[in-house]
């Protein structure tokens, strides 16, 4: 894998009071050799792989479970993806769907940090049997 | 350890795997290779002959090209993975941005390789999310031993 460039996407959980502006200002102070671009959901950061590893550790130490991150294939401001240059955003639908789920993940990570771990196997959801459906219909007739 | 994540571009899984001390294998890193090194217009939408050949290793010629294209990116990642974490029934993995047949093939390839894998449900409530994250943490913690 390429070690020269690493572009990261930092996304703020909707439950956080942190704003993209605050995040960008703090990320600027954390890594001197990274480029940062503010976005509607957080920011994009670009730098060397080693620099990015240090930066992500600092971001996680400071914001714990409020900021989530993943890699991004395209560089910052790439005309094929950048909104300012009318680039397409084929991954945005999924990003938006995951953004909506972040409060659940954030609260789960907070619970685990408090020592509240729950590894029960999930309850399998079964369709309502006809008899049960009949009983409900009879009750509300 | 290298952990394959499914959906391969999931931010939640990428973040959790990295947070719990492993290296996530994601589609983004593979796409970066194509962006940086190959002169194609819009990776991964535009592909090269090499990608077609890679895809044929995992799916036959009669299989739709979208599945072969996806597997040309995801197949080598599964081959190099030491473990896998799969989110089952994620809504965005099916429909215009996903492909259910590719998801089935990915599950088959993981099973065929015989690497340790964890399948978790897509959370819709806080309790389900807690179970999901706890199980992922437990699974990834066990990989270190």
- Quick one: CA dihedral B73, B77, B78, B83, positive or negative? negative
CA distance A62 to A64: 6
Whether pLDDT at A19 is above 60: yes
- The model's confidence at residue A108, banded by pLDDT at 50, 70 and 90, is very high
On whether any CB of chain B is under 8 Å from the CB of A112, the answer is: yes
Residues of B with Cβ-Cβ distance to A104 under 8 angstroms: 123, 125-126, 128-129
Q: What is the pLDDT of residues B65-106, one digit of tens each?
A: 889 888 999 999 999 999 999 998 887 777 666 788 899 999
Domain edges within chain A:
6-113
User: Any idea which architecture B2-143 has in CATH?
Assistant: 3-Layer(aba) Sandwich (3.40)
Count the Cβ atoms, other than its own, within 10 Å of residue A33. 11
Alpha carbon of B34: minimum distance to chain A alpha carbons (Å)? 9
Name the more confident of B31 and B24: B24
B60: region left, alpha or beta (phi > 0 left; psi from -120 to 50 alpha): beta
Point out the residue among A1, A94, A116 whose CB comes nearest to the CB of B9: A94
Contact A101 B12 (CB under 8 A): yes
Q: Which residue has the higher pLDDT, A122 or B80?
A: B80
Longest CA span, chain B: 46
Phi, psi dihedral angles at A39 (to 5 degrees): -130, 175
CB contact under 8 A, A70 and B26: yes
- For residues B19-30, give the mean pLDDT: 92
Whole-angstrom Cα distance, residue B138 to residue B141? 5
Supply the pLDDT for residue A1.
47
Task: Give the neighbor-by-neighbor strand order of the sheet with B117-121.
Answer: B23-25, B2-6, B83-88, B117-121
Facing residue for A72 by CB, picked from B28, B123, B129: B28
Alpha-carbon gap: B15 to the closest alpha carbon of chain A (Å): 6
Helix, strand, coil distribution of chain B in percent, nearest 5: 55, 15, 30
Averaged pLDDT for residues A30-49: 91
**Whole-number pLDDT of residue B78:** 95
Predicted pLDDT at A53: 92
**Domain A6-113 classified CATH 3.40.50?**
no
How high is the pLDDT of residue B45?
76
pLDDT at A2 over 60: no
Predicted confidence (pLDDT) per residue in B48-61, tens digit: 888 888 889 998 88
Average pLDDT over residues A10-27: 95
Report DSSP state, residue B66: H
CB contact under 8 A, A68 and B10: no
pTM, two decimals, is: 0.88
Please give the Cα distance from A116 to B134 (Å, whole number): 9
CA of B92 vs chain A CAs: smallest distance (Å)? 6
């Amino acid at each position: 894998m390429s070690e020269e460039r690493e572009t990261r996407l930092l996304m703020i959980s909707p439950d956080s009071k942190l704003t993209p502006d605050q995040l960008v200002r703090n990320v600027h102070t954390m890594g001197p050799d990274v480029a940062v671009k503010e976005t509607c959901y957080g920011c994009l950061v670009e730098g060397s792989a080693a620099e990015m590893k240090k930066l992500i550790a600092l971001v996680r130490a400071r914001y714990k479970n409020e900021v989530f991150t993943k890699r991004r294939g395209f560089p910052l401001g790439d005309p094929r993806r950048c909104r300012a240059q009318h680039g397409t955003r084929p991954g945005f639908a999924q990003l938006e769907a995951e953004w909506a789920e972040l409060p659940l993940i954030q609260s789960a990570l907070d619970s685990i940090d408090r020592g509240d771990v729950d590894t029960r196997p999930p309850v399998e959801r079964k369709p309502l049997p006809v008899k049960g459906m009949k009983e409900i219909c009879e009750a509300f007739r | 350890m290298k952990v394959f994540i499914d959906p391969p571009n999931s931010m939640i899984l990428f973040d959790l795997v990295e947070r719990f001390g492993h290296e996530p294998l994601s589609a983004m890193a593979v796409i970066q290779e194509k962006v940086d090194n190959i002169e194609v217009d819009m990776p991964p939408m535009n592909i090269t002959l090499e990608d077609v050949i890679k895809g044929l290793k995992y799916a036959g010629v009669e299989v739709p090209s979208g599945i072969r294209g996806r597997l040309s990116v995801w197949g080598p990642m599964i081959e190099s993975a030491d473990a896998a974490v799969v989110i089952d029934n994620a809504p965005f993995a099916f429909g215009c941005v996903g492909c259910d047949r590719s998801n089935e093939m990915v599950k088959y390839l993981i099973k065929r390789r015989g690497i340790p894998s964890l399948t978790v449900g897509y959370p819709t409530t806080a309790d389900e999310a807690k179970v999901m994250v706890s199980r992922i943490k437990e699974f990834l913690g066990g990989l270190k031993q």
